[in-house]
Each structure stands twice: as structure tokens, then as C-alpha cells.
Amino acid sequence: MAAAVVPALKHWRTTLGRAEKFVSPVYSTHDCNLRSRWWTCWFRVELTIPEAWVGQEVHFRWESDGEGMVWRDGEPVQGLTKEGEKTSYVLTERLGEGDPRSLTLYVEVACSGLLGAGKGTMIAAPDPEKMFQVSRAELALFHQDVHKLLVDLELLLGMAKGLGEDNQRSFQALYTANQIVNVYDPAQPETFLMAQDLASKFFGQRGGESQHTIHAMGHCHIDTAWLWPFKETVRKCARSWVTAVQLMERNPEFIFVCSQAQQLEWVKNQYPGLYSRLQEFACRGQFVPVGGTWVEMDGNLPSGEAMVRQFLQGQNFFLQEFGKMCSEFWLPDSFGYSAQLPQIMRSCGIRHFLTQKLSWNLVNSFPHHTFFWEGLDGSCVLAHFPPGDSYGMEGSVEEVLKTVARNRDKGRTNHSAFLFGFGDGGGGPTQTMVDRLKRLYNTDGLPRVQLSSPGQLFSALESDSGQLCTWVGELFLELHNGTYTTHAQIKKGNRECERILHDVELLSSLALVRSAQFLYPAAQLQDLWRLLLLNQFHDVVTGSCIQLVAEEAMCHYEDIRSHGNALLNAAAAALCAGEPGPEGLLIVNTLPWKRTEVLALPRPGGTHSLALVTVPSMGYAPAPALTSLQPLLPQQPVFVVRETDGSVTLDNGIIRVRLDPTGRLTSLVLVASNREAIAEGAVGNQFVLFDDVPLYWDAWDVMDYHLETRKPVLGQAGTLAVGTEGGVRGSAWFLLQISPNSRLSQEVVLDVGCPYVRFHTEVHWHEDHKFLKVEFPARVRSPQATYEVQFGHLQRPTHQNTSWDWARFEVWAHRWMDLSEHGFGLALLNDCKYGASVRGSVLSLSLLRAPKAPDATADMGRHEFTYALMPHKGSFQDAGVIQAAYSLNFPLLALPTPGRVPMATWSAFSVSSPAVVLETVKQAESTPQGRTLVLRLYEAHGSHVDCWLHTSLPVQEAVLCDLLERRDPAGHLPFRDARLKLTFSPFQVQSLLVVLQAPLN
């Protein structure tokens, strides 16, 4: 009897190196070893399969620099991308005797890679000279047994390295790999079985009951536009999802999750055959729509109403197309998350939230991976961050171990997500990834891995959630702060179009009441909203996209403006139908409070005249006649005084503004109390320039060290001049040379009765890596400042006590921010800016950046914007800062009417409490031809309040509903004396369905 062969004692490192070399292409070189911008090129491929290949698996192999897709019999069948490790298409898993030997395929190849076509680096502007090559087109046999053996060896090596030299299981994995190398001979196929038996024995050894469970889900993050245009995303979706279909067919246990209704609609329209397959697999539970939104939008900049519409459009699409709504909000790659998102989610039928982006924090590590997230109003959702800190895992042992090791909630929960598949530019999972994860199902030494779904994951997390912690407030990303400012024209288009759609919906709703002939433009409004929602994708509204995408976004905004203004005029005409009165202008107030403001009215000959007009809440008034443009003013008129030193003072009896000869603000006094708002010895309206050179993410980041490069922009004395000389309006203007290449002009405007001074600004901006801000040092001391967010506001520190405080050196806000001490404060309002900060007592508004990647032209050119400064007595809530910021952003409308203008004023809605804002009036989605309106209100002060909603509309019924406009069975509201009562808690959003009676006329 022969003596048993005793394995030689081997050094761990050399054994590991031997196994690594064995699985590399250097060792196995036999044929069974398988390892101009935006144009589309088509290749016709004629194939003849050798007769000798009968009974074997045959692949078509293709490698090209550009992404590709195989078409067969008129349908897409396989995505191809070298970067995404998809370089072959399975022609047949077993060639039969009767199968055809000749066939024709078509390969569609894009002139762009998985991540665009940047010149030199990924985020550089696209290279117009970039060449793309096809490097491989061939038939090949695929040996599944070799493939499986290579996967096993790879996993064994991963365990040997990942578990380390002091771990028993590590040595077992390494020695098993070594034994496989010993027995396997590529020239002798029968040795495969011996090698596979060794591997199966090892992987068949099970883990214990306490092992952490990893829920592995196929995932393919596809940016709706980023380093490629929107139209290329449509093809990326097709390439990625047709590959996922192939995987679902071959692996019944494989589950693929997919977000973004917009992308699914594109595929539905352009690849109907593929879309039908996706619906089939959705019925089987393998294709799982997630997210509930139209796109994966930015989590900071869209308004509260726009966020609601993301869910309204998305959830309705998923329900219509796939039979059910999503129960989880899926936003893995956005640059921070508003504190109002939990309330919006809950009211849209969503209880769970998944992201991983906070793992990108530059300063502080977020303390949890699984926790309850409590929003501004107290709403809670169960949040989960995959502990592997990625949405593009590949199924390696290293990633599996990292998922467990980095989990910050060990002991509180024993489940976590594992999202695998190439992402950002699409691609998605591969068969190799699936094979790795299936092999690791329940192996001793590793966590348990199961191919799972979001529903299974969150059910497991919920069942064991008793020990979870709660995070209260916003999820602030300590990175990508520059996206609050980059591409100012996109930011301006976003704010303007949010306003236009708000106004169109309100006027169209009122026209529906006033005219029996008026048809609410539901289809047109849906199209315009979807354009706006598309632009709110997290790499578009943020400005972190290539020039071509920015240009497309600006075209979308122009479409919304032009069509929206046409709809406004049509609604105004319907509002006036049949009314007595002269022809002329209708002055419309789209806000829920009475307003008296100065308005520039168009007059014959193309001129304009200033008039002080009063318009009731959410209603209209006729324009004043030519003879009554300057009535006796109910308040003190504006006085404008030019001093001998060249300074100018503007005074309307509410505030007094003093500008030095260069246009800087030397004094801002609240007249009634004679309280100075500008810090002693300082000047406001000070433009400052910073060097702005991020470490890498040019359009995304502004680094804290930019603050060390502050340079005040100094003007030249004598440039300040009086503009409008007083009465209903007074103004002064000046010019400022920012640099040799950039200049600024500004008109400082004060209107009669207005509590704030406006700064109308025009900038011609031609800079390279510079950051322009404007500063206002306040005579106010407070450890925190207040910033408007969606449906409310929150406080952030003005100091740098901790690293968490310092990391907020640049933050975002919507229409206003405020710095207040007891009894007095100073608010800074704006009409299209988002970047801001308050450091100490200095309020700073971020105006313009000049990044050069991925768009070298970002922000270059002419800009117009307005900001305003409002000193106030008492709290900003009681002083009306919120209403003032709305008024700045929603100017009174002077709409021409084709017929007669009503002689009397009319108001549709008003609210009894200034703490409650009636944000939205629209037609209900479920009644496109009906007479049901949706009203959305929110509590804006942060208080418990009862209020009355008054209306002149003929209300038949009023009932509470959620944000998806589904009735609350217990939400009936009594309607008496043209009003109904509502009760709010702090920052609560409430929606009402209001059923109208027959039209008045």
C-alpha cells in the first residue's frame, strides 16, 4: 500500500501568491479562460458556428471602447461594455444538432464609454477628438466548469486574505485553494471534478445561527444625465436592463431593483419589447421597482412642492405600470437629504429610506447604518445605509467582510443590504457576481449571503428594531457644498419654473370655478412638471453635469416658461369671461395674503409706469387707470438724498438705507426703534472673491480652505448715482469692476411700504476657479442662524465648536435666512440662490462659481439676480420674513386680457393665521375633467396652531387626503360660513380634497 502523500508545510504568503498566479491569465492561456461623442455606430455581424461545437456552450465575444448592445431578430438581447465586464453574448447554452449554424446579429456601439468621454480624467469635459475602437469580435466556447472553478478559487483567496493569518478558517481556505491547484490539470478535463469536489466540501461547511445576514440585490445606478446627455441615458437603460433580463432568466433567485420612473417611461416608449419583459419579471417578483420618485432628485434644492410631485408622478407611474407603489425611498447618490423628507415620504406611502452617500462625508463619519430618521415635524422612517458604503458592489469576499466589519449598529441589528452591479453609468450585475454570491450563501467564516429584495431586508430590520437609535433633522453631506451654487442659470431656471407652475395651477383652478367653458390643462401641466422634475435630477439642478446637459436643461426651462406663460394668459382670460369693465390688465396675487406693492405696469408705446396696487389674497384686482397712478400714499413716500460725500440715503419710514460712494451698505436702520442692523465699523453689501480650487470634484466641491483666500472687491468712489428719485420708489445704482475680466452693476431699490431693500444685480462673469459672495455683517449676536428649507426652516450653528459645526462652513437655504437675537434680527432674502452661510455675525450669500469640470463653460457669461435685506423687530416669524421672501419670489402678475377686466377685486382663499401658508391649489389628479381641487397647506412658524381657511368658492365637500391625494376615511371637514377649521402641529403639511359645486356662470 502506497504511503499517503503528506502536503509540504507551506509559507502563507508564498501559497497565496501561487494561487493568485494560478487564476490569472498568465497561467491559464487556453481558449476556455474567460476573464465622436454620442454617435451610434451599427455593425452587422455574420456568424457561422463550427459543426464540431455541437453540445457545447457558444458565446459571441465583443470588445470595444464604446458601450454596445447586441440586437437579434429586431430586439435588444445583451448589453456590452468592457468597463462593466460584459464582453460576451450567450448564443446558446448547448448547441443542438438541429440548431442553425449561421445567424446574423447587429451590434450598436456608442461613441462613449461607461462613464462618458472625458478628456484625460473621468470628470473632465468631453473630448471631441476621442477615438473609439473595436478590439475583438469572435466566436468562442465557454466552459462552465472552468468558470465555476475560477470563481471558487477567487472566493477562497478572498477568504484567505480577508480573514487574515491569525484566523483558522483563513488557512483552511488557503490550503483548499492549494489542493485545487495540485489536482487540476487543464489538459485533463476529468480533474475538474476532483477540484470542484474540494471546493464544494469547503463551501458546504455552514456558519452558525448568529451569523450576520447580507441581503444581496442586483442594482444598476444610472445617472439620468451626468457625463453624457439625456438621450444616451435612454440607451444606457436598455443596455443595462436587457442584461438584467438575461440574468433573471438564467437565475430564478436573482432579484434586480430599479428606480426612476422617468427611465422606465423612456424604455417603454423606445424599447417596448424589453419593457414588456421587465413587466413580466416584475410579476414574478424578480424585477422590483423602488424609490417611488420620477427621478433620483437632489435632496436639497427642489422646493417642498416639487419633492411632493416627484413622489406623486413616480408612485402613480409605478402603480399604473407595475400594479403597486413603492414602499421604500431609494436615493443612494444625492448630495444630502432635507429634514422634511421623512414627512413627505410617510404621506406618500413610504416608510423606509436607503442611501449610502453620507459615507462620503469629508470630516465626520456618520454614526449609524440602520436607524430611525426623524424629520422636521416628528415623522419617522426606518433608514438604512448599506455598511459596505457602496451601491456598486461586485460580490467579492472583501466586500462581504467589509459590510459586516464597518456596520456601526452591530448588536442592534443583524441584517444589512449589499447592492451589487456596476453603476453610475449603468452596466449592472454580471453572471460572475451572481455566481460569487450564490456560492457564499451560508459558508462558515463569512456572514450569511442571500439573494434578497428591499421588502425582505426592511421586514427583517423592522422585526429587530427595538434597539435602534434615532437621528433627528437633516442628513447633511459634508462634501459637494459647491453644488448649491454651481451653474447659477440652472438654479435660476429651477426657482422660476417652480413659481410659474405654482401660478398656472392656481389660476387654472380659479378659472375652472369662474368659467364653465374652461378646461383645466392637466395633460400640459403634467408634461411641464415632468420636465421640471427631470431637471431636478441630482446631477442636473446641482450643476455637476457636462455642458450639453446644461444646455438641454436650459431648453427645458424655456419650454416651461413659454408654455407656462401661455397657460397663465389663457387662465386669466377665463377668469375675466363675462365680467363688466374696461379692457386692460388684470393684477393677480398668487399668494395667500393681501399685498400692497409697487408694480411696473406696461403702458402704450412700450413704456412702464410705477403704481402702488393692492390685491387681495389669492385673487385679483383691476389695474389702476392711467390718471390714478400716483394716488395719495397711505404710507410715507420714499425719500432719496444724495449727500455731499457722494453717499446716498433711501428712507421709506420703515427702514433707512445709507450707501457709501462705492455702493456698500454703511447703515441700515429700523426707523421705528432707530435700531442699527449693520455691525459697528463694518459695511454690508460687500462683495468678496475667493480662490476656489477643490481637491478633485470641481463642479461639486468647495473646500474649507477657500475661506482663507478672502479678498474684498473694492469699488471706486463716485460710481454711485441716484436712479429713481423717490415717491413710490427710490433707488441708487453703481458699477463695480470685480476683476480685469468680470464686472457688476447693481440697483439698490426701496419701495413705499416695503420692509426690505432690494439689490437688483447684473454680473458679467469670466473667471477661472473663483467664488463670488456678498456679505452683510450684522449687529446681532446668536449661536445659531435660521435657514428656510422645504415647508419650514431649521437652525444651524454660527460657530465652529465641534467638527460637526465646522463641516457646515457652506450650507444651503431656499428663499431666506435669518440671524436673530431677542427682540431684533436681520434676514437675507433671495430670488434664485441656494448657497449660504452665517459665520459669527456675518450673513453671506453665495453668488457665482467658476469650475472647469465637467463643464468648462459653467457660469461664464451674464447673470441677473436679486437679493434683499430685511431688518426686523421681534422674531422673524412675527415680523413677516417668511411672507416677505414669498413676495420677493412670487411677484404680482399683470396679465393682459382679451376682453374686459373685472371692475371689482376678488379673493378665492385666505388663511386666518400667518403661521399657515396655503402653498398649492391644483386640480386633483384623479379627476382630470372633474371639479375637485387639491389644497396643500403647511405650518411655517414651528408652532401648534388652529386656523380658519376662508374661501369664496362654491364648496360641496372638503376632506383631508395624503400627498398622493388619497382620501383620509376619517378626514371629513365641516364647511360652514364659507370657511373650514384646520389644526396644525409644527411644520406639518396637510392636503385637502375640495369638491366644488356647479360653476357660478
Catalytic residues: 333
The DSSP output letter for 795 is E
Residue type, 768: D
Q: Which of 171, 172, 199, 202 is nearest to 183 (CA)?
A: 199
What lies within 8 Å, CB to CB, of 365 at 6+ separation is none
| Euclidean distance between CA atoms 787 and 834, whole angstroms | 10
CB-based burial, 919-942: b 16+ in 10 Å, e otherwise: bbbbbbeebeeebbbbbbbbbbbb
Answer for the pair 805, 870: CB distance below 8 angstroms, yes or no.
Answer: no
- Locate 940 and state its grid cell: 411655517
The count of C-alpha atoms lying within 13 angstroms of the C-alpha of 362, restricted to the half-sphere facing its C-beta, is 21
- Rounded CA separation 969/966 (Å): 9
Residue located via cell numbers 459558508: 443
Q: Which of 690, 696, 732, 687 is nearest to 714 (CA)?
A: 687
Question: What does the DSSP 8-state code read for residue 484?
Answer: G
Instruction: State the Cα–Cα distance between residues 331 and 353, nearest whole angstrom.
Output: 8
DSSP state of 537: B
Q: Residue 626 corresponds to which cell in the numbers above?
A: 392711467
* 620, 575 Cβ separation under 8 angstroms: yes
Edge-first strand listing for the sheet containing 583-589: 893-900, 583-589, 619-622, 906-907
Cα–Cα dist 419/408, whole Å: 18
Q: Is the peptide bond before 631 cis (omega within 30 degrees of 0)?
A: no
Cell of 330: 431609494
Alpha helices in 227-303 (DSSP H): 230-250, 261-270, 272-284
CA nearest to 926, candidates 974, 959, 970, 972: 959
The amino acid that residue 378 corresponds to is G
Q: What is the 3-state secondary structure (H, E, C) of 648-661?
A: EEEECCCEEEEECC
Buried b (16+ CB within 10 A) or exposed e, 40-67: beeeeeebebeeebeebbbbbebbbbbb
Q: How far apart are CA 153 and CA 20, in angstroms?
A: 9
H/E stretch holding 611 reads strand 607-615
Per the DSSP assignment, residues forming a β-bridge with 612 are: 598
Give the three-class secondary structure for 41.
strand
Per DSSP, the three-state class of 122 is coil
Tell me the one-letter amino acid at 408: R
User: Which residue in 670, 857, 690 sits closest to 125, CA to CA?
Assistant: 857
In angstroms, the CA 116 to CA 426 distance is: 11
Dihedral sign for Cα atoms in the order 844, 845, 847, 849: positive
Please choose, from the candidates 644, 648, 673, the residue with its C-alpha nearest in 3D space to the C-alpha of residue 658: 648
Among 879, 902, 908, residue whose Cα is nearest residue 617: 908
Contact 20, 155 (CB under 8 A): no
Angle between helix axes 304-322 and 488-514 (nearest 10 degrees) is 70
Cell of 506: 392656481
Closest CA to 876 of 923, 790, 942, 920: 942
What CA–CA distance (Å, rounded) separates 777 from 755? 19
Q: How many CB atoms lie within 10 A of CB 681?
A: 6
